[in-house]
Amino acid sequence: MSLSNKASVIIVTYNHKKYMTDCLTSVLGNDPLEVIVVDNGSTDGTPEFIEENFPEVKVIRSPKNMGYGGGNNLGVVHARGEYVVILNPDTKVGKNWLEELLKPLGKEEKLITTPKILTYDGSKINTCGNIDHFTGLTFTRGLNESPEKFDRFEYLSGLSGACFAMRRTDYLELGGFDENFLTYMEDAEFSWRAHAEGFKILYVPTSIVYHDYELRVPPQKIYHLEKGRYIVLRKYLSWKELLLMLPSLLATEILTWGYSLLNGVEGVRFKIKGLKDGITAKVEKTECNRKKLLKSLDWKIPEEQLSYNTIDRTIKKVVNFIYWVNYRVIAK
In a structure prediction context, what are the per-residue pLDDT tens digits for the chain, which is 332 residues long?
689 999 999 999 999 999 999 999 999 999 999 999 999 999 999 999 999 999 999 999 998 888 899 999 999 999 999 999 999 999 999 999 999 999 999 999 999 999 999 999 999 999 999 999 999 999 999 999 999 999 999 999 999 999 999 999 999 999 999 988 877 899 999 999 999 999 999 999 999 999 998 888 889 999 999 999 999 999 999 999 999 999 999 999 999 999 999 999 999 999 999 999 999 999 989 989 999 999 999 999 999 887 778 888 999 999 999 999 999 999 87
The tens digit of pLDDT for each residue in 182-225 reads 778 999 999 999 999 999 999 999 999 999 988 888 899 999 99
**Which residue type sits at 222?**
I
Report the phi/psi class of residue 317: left, alpha or beta, with left for phi > 0 and alpha for psi in -120 to 50: alpha
C-alpha span between 94 and 183 (Å, rounded)? 26
Instruction: State how far Cα 258 lies from the chain centre.
Output: 24
The three-class DSSP label of residue 222 is helix
Q: Are 86 and 191 in contact (CB under 8 A)?
A: no
Residues 6+ apart with CB under 8 A from 279: 230, 234
245 CB neighbour count, 10 Å cutoff: 23
Query: Shortest CA distance to 162 belongs to which of 81, 97, 227?
Result: 97
C-alpha span between 130 and 251 (Å, rounded)? 21
List of domains in the chain: 3-211 (3.90.550.10), 219-330 (no CATH)
Q: Are 272 and 227 in contact (CB under 8 A)?
A: no
C-alpha span between 184 and 68 (Å, rounded)? 9
Query: Shortest CA distance to 89 belongs to which of 258, 5, 209?
Result: 209
C-alpha span between 326 and 7 (Å, rounded)? 42
Which residues on adjacent β-strands are paired with residue 36? 10, 58
**Which residue type sits at 83?**
Y
Strand boundaries in 186-278, DSSP class E: 200-211
